[in-house]
């Protein structure tokens, strides 16, 4: 464990700074947003829904990249261009068929 001169790990220090910055931005934005934002208005429900969809899409993309990175970065696939092309084609066919499955 690497410690800074103050005895706090560097990652924890950076994390604490990000949290404090986030809290300051949130506290500055709260008074203006509470006057304008209505919980049950159609616009706010649509905005919240779109933000939720965007975050879920990013999480799915990150999970897919993590799963595929181990396969595509292996020595067997890195050594053969033919296997890389076959792997990419298989992924495209799989994602295409899943998107049309409904």
Q: Domain tally for the chain?
A: 1
What pLDDT was estimated at residue 70?
82
Domain that holds residue 1: 1-37
What pLDDT was estimated at residue 14?
59
- Identify whether 59 is part of a domain: no
- Identify whether 75 is part of a domain: no
- Identify whether 26 is part of a domain: yes
**Is the C-alpha dihedral spanning 24, 52, 59, 89 positive or negative?**
negative
- Identify whether 25 is part of a domain: yes
3 pairs with which residues across the strands?
9
Q: pLDDT truncated to tens, each residue of the chain (102 aa)?
A: 444 555 545 555 555 565 556 666 667 767 776 677 777 888 888 888 888 998 898 888 888 888 888 888 888 888 889 998 998 899 899 888 988 876
Q: How far is CA 41 from the centre of its chain?
A: 28
């Amino acid at each position: 464990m690497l410690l800074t001169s103050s005895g706090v790990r560097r990652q924890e220090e950076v994390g604490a700074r990000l949290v404090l910055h986030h809290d300051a931005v949130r506290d500055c934005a709260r008074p203006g947003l509470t006057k304008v934002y209505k919980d049950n208005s159609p616009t706010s429900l649509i905005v919240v829904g779109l933000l939720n969809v965007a975050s879920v899409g990013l999480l799915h993309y990150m999970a897919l990249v993590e799963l595929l990175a181990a396969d595509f970065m292996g020595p067997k696939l890195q050594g053969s261009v033919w296997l890389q092309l076959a792997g990419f084609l298989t992924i495209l066919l799989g994602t295409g068929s899943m998107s049309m499955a409904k």
